[in-house]
Amino acid sequence: MSVDTDFIPATSEDKPEHSSIDVSSKTFWAQTSEKRDETFARLRREDPVSWQRPVQDAVNPDPDDPGYWAVVKHAEIAEVSRDSKSYISGQGVLFDLLPPYFLELSQSFLAMDPPRHDHLRRLISSAFTPKRVKRIEEQIKVAAREIVDSFAHESGEIEFVDRCGKQLPTRMFGDMFGVPDELREQVHKSAGDVVAWADPETLGDRSPDEVQIEACQTLHGIAKELIDARRAKPADDLLSSLVQAEIEGEKLTDFEIGSFFVLLSVAGTDTTKHTSAFTVKAMTEFPDQRDWLREDYDGRIKTAVEEFVRYASPVMTFRRTATLRAVLGGKKIIPGDKVVLFYPSGNYDEDVFDEPTKFDLSRDPNPHVGFGGGGTHFCLGNQLAKSMLRALFSELLTRIPDFEAGEPELLGTNFMRAVKRMPFRFTPEK
Ligand code: HEM
């Protein structure tokens, strides 16, 4: 990329017409992901870095917003993700325009830049000592077994998301932060509300603002109680490490830990939940792939789990802001420009993946961008997520291998590819 100036505010200098291939409208996001990918495929062919009009009906619209660059190909998604100097996160990472106070309450170091980002990230990573990771791995296996135990003997039909998909990530998040059992359902519900600002069913007669603020405040309130308890009596858990940690001689404030709690309650639970839902659906549609995996689960799951994430692509968009002049995909980017990364499109890029619409569990290599395109913000929880998916599918495919998923009901959103409910049938275990 070419670079010739420091950060200056956005202008509409040198901008092309907004693309006629639109990915900003509510109608576009209301379509199925298959339909959306037809549009992304056209953009990948004809205009890989396109100038788009502002997102329609943003939560916090900006009348001066000139629009954004839509980045739909794998190569440019990786290029932007890996260059955190030219494309920063500190001015917000969500595609929709959300109020600044919401971002403070919920984004933590996801929406920070080096060096603050790197300090916080190192701190959190250091809490995952090999001993703790090993213990977590064991806990995940036990939890997966108990979760499948809770329905495998039943009549043979459950609602997947509630009874299975959400259980393991909610439980692991609860264990990491020491959330008492009676509060775990509330944490899960509030974490879901944080990202449901565009879903009419979740909103009911409330505004997106009301729903988000209430959800964030509930989560900060729970975090505060837990923080106070850990300050009084430290335990051997992630939260105690955060409470005691110091960055350059300073302790994290309760608010900073609270925002991290909100970030992780969403990043760590919803993503994995939706990946498991889309995977049982994919195994229903591609039974040969399920059979292939079952033939040698332990030998094949390491490769297969990457395809679970590529195929599901539960995180659909994240944004960066340009700080320098650059050329990206042949387009002139100027400081202040918003640059939006469309991960599902990168994951279905024909130049990188053969037959991208095929759920192919033997796909290897599988350089998907489901956890991000690499670089400083690459998903911190990717190992944990894969470990949960491996443990859950080991139980499902051993104990109720003939399961079938029905039609999923999807969340209305341009951020998460998310399943609200999905019927799930199986022959009960004897
Ligand atoms: C299948 C499940 C998951 C998917 C698809 C996923 C996806 C992502 C993506 C796309 C990003 C942004 C990457 C970027 O901006 O370059 C991200 C960041 C992050 N994820 Fe995940 N994630 C998953 C599970 C988890 C879990 C289980 C945790 C934690 C327990 C977690 C914690 C985080 C955190 C803390 C960040 C911010 C990292 C940073 O800014 O440095 N994620 N994830």
pLDDT of residue 4: 36
Q: Is the CB of 272 under 6 A from ligand 1?
A: yes
Q: What's the gap in Å between 245 CA and the centre of ligand 1?
A: 22
Rounded to whole angstroms, the Cα distance separating 177 from 239 reads 5
Q: Is the pLDDT of residue 129 over 80?
A: no
CA–CA separation, 354 vs 359, rounded Å? 11
Which atom belonging to ligand 1 lies closest to the Cα atom of 274? 1
Distance (Å) from CA 216 to ligand 1 centroid = 19
Distances (CA, A) of 80 to 4, 50, 61, 229, 376: 17, 14, 25, 41, 11
Average pLDDT over residues 118-139: 84
CA of 14 to the centre of ligand 1 (A): 34
CA of 103 to the centre of ligand 1 (A): 16
Percent of the chain scored above 70 by pLDDT? 97
Cα–ligand 1 centroid distance for 201 (angstroms): 26
- pTM of the shown model: 0.95
Answer yes or no: is the C-beta of 136 below 6 A from any ligand 1 atom: no
- Contacts of 406-413 with C-beta under 8 Å, sequence gap 24+, read 408/277, 408/278, 408/281, 410/32, 411/196, 411/199, 411/202, 412/29, 412/30, 412/198, 412/199, 412/200, 412/201, 413/29, 413/195, 413/196, 413/197, 413/198, 413/199, 413/316
Task: Classify the phi-psi angles of 372: left when phi > 0, otherwise alpha if psi is within -120 to 50, otherwise beta.
Answer: left
Domain ranges of the chain: 26-425
Does residue 361 line the site of ligand 1, with CB under 6 A?
no
pLDDT, tens digit (0-9, with 9 covering 90-100), for 378-404:
999 999 999 999 999 999 999 999 999
Residue-wise over 164-203: b if at least 16 C-beta within 10 A, else e?
bbbbbbbbbbbbbbebeeeebeebbebbbbbbbbbbeebb
The arithmetic mean of pLDDT across residues 249-255, rounded, is 88
Q: Ligand 1 pocket check: which of 80, 321, 379 to mutate, most ligand atoms within 8 Å of Cβ?
A: 379
168 lines ligand 1 (CB under 6 A): no
Cβ–ligand 1 contact at 120 (below 6 Å): no
Q: Is 90 in the pocket of ligand 1 (CB under 6 A)?
A: no
Q: Whose CA is nearest to atom 37 of ligand 1?
A: 110
**Ligand 1 pocket mutation, candidates 371, 416, 419, criterion most atoms within 8 A of CB:** 371
Strand 157-159 and strand 419-421: the pairing is unpaired
Per-residue pLDDT of 130-164, as tens digits, reads 787 888 999 999 999 999 999 999 889 999 999 99
Ligand 1 touching residue 309 (CB < 6 A) = yes
> How far is residue 156's CA from residue 423's CA, in Å, rounded to a whole number?
11
Domain 26-425 is found in CATH 3.40.50.1000: no
- Sort strands 404-405 and 338-342 into parallel, antiparallel or unpaired: unpaired
State the closest ligand 1 atom to the C-alpha of 89, by its place in the atom list counted from 1.
Answer: 15
Query: Quick one: pLDDT at residue 246?
Result: 82
Asked if pLDDT for residue 125 goes beyond 90, the answer is: no
